[in-house]
Structure 1
């Protein structure tokens, strides 16, 4: 177009056009990187700020902190991405409208994922458990670590991470072993049919009354639970504070066994009685 100009002038004109364009593009690129870095940094700070504010709310727990922190962090990163696109000249208004239309179709395709978000909100509203509670959901037991937008994280007793979708937690019965301050413990001990039942009951009751961790109300309860194939099954039912459940279970089982040994009360092994009839008896039965 400017072939009639000298070569040196054309070169200078090209530099005058290209250099500002490269400079503008480079500044936009550096600005976008800076926005991404600042957005990522601010999302982490916002998550911590939300956690700080939630912790100041009376009766709050870690579930609220992690859930609302996740929402704020995702929101900040969404605005960050939109700001980066605007830096490169993308019309974010039309993009948001396009994303809104596409979001409807994606939402229909990801109903399961969105149901996890809705279930997470319902879990926060009704609060069937708190962080630190030991729960059982669908046969899976563990201590609640945190509740996020999509999942509930548990830790098994041997410290294995268990991640359960929120919809599975909300859609099933939840057993919360930590909700109430007290728990009941049922222990069953088998004694021989030849042993004195009253003596065994007195021994179990005395062992329970000597344990200061057991509650006086309801008082320890002792009864004959069942007549088994090889033993008379005795029931010892006691109540204690929730935190003492496992120590009491282990200690009381040992104490009753030692008391039975001291009293001469036997805990029988499973046995079977076999009757052997001679040929004459069998032949008589056959004739009958």
Structure 2
């Protein structure tokens, strides 16, 4: 029994030596290729990103090209590892090409996301930092990657949309133009002086330094409502000042109307006793 055990151990050791002799260098070479490929997949995309940033290339383009470069290097590394073990990469590529149609049909969604990412990169309807509304979601664009677009809402909730959805939807980009128009609708009582109310509104708008002179602000009577005379105020400002102008002037209009004794009608609830 002991002799048989010694024989099995010797046979196992001999087989192990044969494997190491035959494939040892290939395994070591494959490991070295993987290590080098992994290092290169980090160095080259980072270097490319730094170079493009120095040249002022759009951040969206930089991130997309960085992701694409890293993926390409990893694929090349995998092919080199297979070649190290004697796999004919040319034949493998031919087989993959033949199977490409079936894979493409199975991964239609994924490939359409890549195509959507390419279209977003080429036409650039959105850029990193833009505030947009797309597919029913509104937020600031954080990144456009190979497969997805990442956004953050005003309260900093992450939204990740497939690129195909972004490209296939109507995109409302609030940051595309340098200026935006802020609209207000102020209602006054029929007993109040319309001209006085309009003068108060115009004075407050012109006093705000964020209000642009060209296009000029507009203050007009837009509607005779059921219980109020409605005055529309339109103010142009820089896109980044939109919400500040909106909030500050709304507060200023109410406070100044109170000082000038101009009433703002509002619904009254009347209690009826039996």
TM-score by structure 1 length? Answer: 0.84
- Which residue of structure 2 aligns with residue 43 of structure 1? 41
Alignment of 1:178-257 (within 5 A): 178-257=175-254
- Which residue of structure 1 aligns with residue 62 of structure 2? 65
Which segment is superposed worse, 224-233 or 99-108?
224-233
- Which residue of structure 1 aligns with residue 161 of structure 2? 164
What are the Cα deviations for residues 221-252 of structure 1, in whole angstroms up to 9, with x where unaligned? 11122233332221111111111111111111
* 8 Å Cα contact 1:222/1:234 also seen in 2: yes
What are the Cα deviations for residues 2-41 of structure 1, in whole angstroms up to 9, with x where unaligned? xxxxxxxxx9999777525324434433332232222122
SS of the residue corresponding to residue 187 of structure 1 reads strand
Structure 2 CA distance for partners of 1:18 and 1:163, relative to 1, 3 Å:
closer
What are the Cα deviations for residues 192-248 of structure 1, in whole angstroms up to 9, with x where unaligned? 222221111111111111111111122221112223333222111111111111111
Give the paired residue count.
265
Distance 2:10 2:127 in 1: 70
Q: Unaligned 5+ residue runs, structure 1? A: 1-10, 276-288
TM-score by structure 2 length? Answer: 0.88
- Which residue of structure 1 aligns with residue 30 of structure 2? 32
Structure 2 CA distance for partners of 1:242 and 1:15, relative to 1, 3 Å:
closer
* 8 Å Cα contact 1:213/1:248 also seen in 2: yes
Runs of 4+ in structure 1 deviating by more than 6 angstroms, as ranges, are: 11-17, 272-275
Distance 1:249 1:226 in 2: 21
* 8 Å Cα contact 1:229/1:270 also seen in 2: no
Distance 1:166 1:14 in 2: 54
Q: How large is the RMSD of aligned CA atoms in angstroms? A: 2.5
Distance 1:188 1:14 in 2: 89
Q: Which has the larger radius of gyration?
A: 1
* 8 Å Cα contact 1:62/1:130 also seen in 2: yes
Alignment of 1:1-288 (within 5 A): 18-58=16-56, 60-271=57-268
Distance 1:112 1:18 in 2: 46
SS of the residue corresponding to residue 139 of structure 2 reads strand
